[in-house]
Amino acid sequence: MVKRFIIAIDLGGTNFKCALLDSNLKIKAKSIFSTKSFANKEKLIAGIAAAINSFIFNLKLEKKNILGIGIGLPGPVDSAKGIVHFLPNIKGWKEVALKRILETKIKLPVFIDNDAKLMTLAEYSLGAAAGYKNVLCLTLGTGVGAGLILNEVLYRGNDNAAGELGHLPLNESGPFCGCGSQACLETYIGNAALIKAARKEFRADISLELVSQMAKAHQLKAIKFWNQIGVKLGLVLSGVVNLLNLDAIVIGGGVASSGKTLFASVKQTISKRAMSIQAKRVKVFKAKLGINAGLIGAGFLVKERLKS
Amino acid sequence: MVKRFIIAIDLGGTNFKCALLDSNLKIKAKSIFSTKSFANKEKLIAGIAAAINSFIFNLKLEKKNILGIGIGLPGPVDSAKGIVHFLPNIKGWKEVALKRILETKIKLPVFIDNDAKLMTLAEYSLGAAAGYKNVLCLTLGTGVGAGLILNEVLYRGNDNAAGELGHLPLNESGPFCGCGSQACLETYIGNAALIKAARKEFRADISLELVSQMAKAHQLKAIKFWNQIGVKLGLVLSGVVNLLNLDAIVIGGGVASSGKTLFASVKQTISKRAMSIQAKRVKVFKAKLGINAGLIGAGFLVKERLKS
């Protein structure tokens, strides 16, 4: 019997990861490339194609061993048609028919989707939210992306644009947001806002990793910093919990590693601010699959699409 | 062939409506009773049973003509088990097995659900949201209740508690809310808040109906009043639209009849504050079934439950 694999790609603004997954979505091999080393969109697409081909070649595989390619992208994607609408953090991408372009180059089935949606599929199928029916899975980074599992399926919305948790308002007015609105959650807890707040609170060259280490070392000022972030996130989540009567919330991304304070504060805020039935129901978990969630989700996408 | 009907009841804090529906959910007869004239829970339940029986008797029907009884209630309900958890605006209701109690009294199948969910089912099946896939249906009254149709089915959540739009926060802090939180949408645009704001803005004995009439007569101060309400509601809806990529929002309840200003302001706020893809997708409609939505939804519930 021919052994079959999936190639998964997780494209980020800084780098892209490429992995070989077996049919149980176990990662068998992995490479990382710098996204920024490619001068433009065409070169980046050629780089992705080259990464896939060299992966197959180096591991002495043939195309018949590969079920398909799954790709996660940091922006709005028409997953059904295989079109990338745009990428807020990678220049030059507008309405790119990535599926068609890559299938022509590589001669293998290609499936694409938004990265937060793929992370959600991964945490739901194999991670922290396994066994729960209604789940919000969010990732804290440059942006605050999220995906929703409702009644046991990924909820997409008509434009595959559901899940923009970072653009729920936290106040009627406040800091201006890249999306054109103001006071969006992302303007308070996106990485740029957090770094700005940390520099104001501590010193000019501090990193969020250092503030996390300080909190883990029980430094009061750092604990207070993460606590305040947790209250803001927890308040928006309370509203979502009231609206959707969720079973579980999974929090991933860099900031999720800041230590216990953030999670304690999110949980406490939900139990204080959400309605009693909803607050009692919902569990808050740290993401389990870490930096591999996007790759595993991309593999899940390939399996799901080839099944249907 | 025996003609079959459904008896629908819409229980509110002020009065309850009882109607006979044909199998196409057309209302054939209707009565209204004062909820407050019943001294306690037991008497109210006996009153509901008496209303149903006298309906059957007066219309010269027999029990074999009645498919079932559908009841909408203003609070959290376990629809599957037929239990009313509690009713915020009617005293003495706590974990009441209403389905069992009434089935014992009346010897007909009884189905119960939350009133906002039934209104949503009605507007989705026969009203303003017919033909749309992902819909939020909200009703502006004492509370701000809502129901969600997602992927063409009523989304309930594990506790049937989804849809609490009135308890999404509009600010980090603000007026205290009956739910235990603060700055919930309901504390700004629930009827009590609106009446208080109107009295402050106009005069001590003004009604919301009068402020609506004044706005329809182009009085600037009244137009400004409804405009500000629309901005607050529109902002919370922008967040929900970003999260759920909705196709349609249906607004009903007393305040929905305040005139064009409220709807114009809600639409304008969504187009300004929601993300471009989501804002472009969503349509905002006035509820079509008016005060009968709850009754029609209760009829829909009976048909749906008897089918499955």
Tell me what the mean pLDDT of segment B65-85 comes to: 95
Tell me what the mean pLDDT of segment A212-227 comes to: 95
**Cα separation of B245 and B232, whole Å?**
19
Whether residues B278 and A161 touch (CB distance < 8 A) is answered with: yes
Please write the tens of the pLDDT for every residue from B223-259: 999 999 999 999 999 999 999 999 999 999 888 888 8
Smallest CA–CA separation between A303 and chain B, in Å? Answer: 22
Contact residues, chain B, for A164 at CB < 8 Å: 242-243, 275, 278
Coil vs helix vs strand at B191: helix
DSSP state string for A160-186: S----GGGSBSSSS-SB-TTS-BSBTH
Please write the tens of the pLDDT for every residue from A57-87: 998 999 899 999 999 998 889 999 999 998 8
Please write the tens of the pLDDT for every residue from B128-173: 999 999 999 999 988 899 999 999 999 999 999 999 999 999 999 9
Whether residues B180 and A281 touch (CB distance < 8 A) is answered with: no
pLDDT at residue number A307: 87
Coil vs helix vs strand at A207: coil
Please write the tens of the pLDDT for every residue from B289-301: 988 999 999 999 9
DSSP state string for B118-157: HHHHHHHHTSTTTT-SSEEEEEESSSEEEEEEETTEEE--
pLDDT at residue number A102: 97
pLDDT at residue number B3: 84
Could you tell me the residue ranges of all domains in chain B?
5-118+292-307, 131-288
Is 80 exceeded by the pLDDT of residue B36? yes
**Is pTM, for the whole model, over 0.80?**
yes
Q: Which candidate from B133, B168, B238 shows the least CB-CB separation from A242?
A: B168
**Cα separation of A192 and A177, whole Å?**
11
pLDDT at residue number A14: 83
Any idea which architecture B131-288 has in CATH? Answer: 2-Layer Sandwich (3.30)
Please write the tens of the pLDDT for every residue from A13-59: 888 999 999 999 999 999 999 998 999 999 999 999 999 999 899 98
pLDDT-derived band at B308 (thresholds 50, 70, 90) equals confident
Whether residues B276 and A162 touch (CB distance < 8 A) is answered with: no
Fold of A131-287: Nucleotidyltransferase; domain 5 (3.30.420)
Is 70 exceeded by the pLDDT of residue B1? no
Please write the tens of the pLDDT for every residue from A236-281: 999 999 999 999 999 998 888 888 999 999 999 999 999 999 999 9
Is 90 exceeded by the pLDDT of residue A141? no
- Cα maximum dimension of chain A: 61
pLDDT-derived band at B2 (thresholds 50, 70, 90) equals confident
The position carrying tokens 């303007």 is A187
pLDDT-derived band at B221 (thresholds 50, 70, 90) equals very high
Strand-pair partners of B116: none
Using alpha carbons only, give the angle B2, B7, B9 rounded to the nearest 5 degrees.
175
Q: Does the domain formed by A5-118+292-307 have CATH 3.40.50.300?
A: no
Contact residues, chain A, for B236 at CB < 8 Å: 169
Count, in order, helices (H) and strands (E) of chain A.
10, 13
pLDDT at residue number B307: 87
pLDDT at residue number A1: 66
pLDDT at residue number A101: 97
pLDDT at residue number A255: 83
Q: Which candidate from A134, A158, A171 shows the least CB-CB separation from B245?
A: A158
Indicate if A131-287 has the same CATH topology as A5-118+292-307: yes
- The nearest alpha carbon in chain B to A158 belongs to B245
- The nearest alpha carbon in chain B to A232 belongs to B172
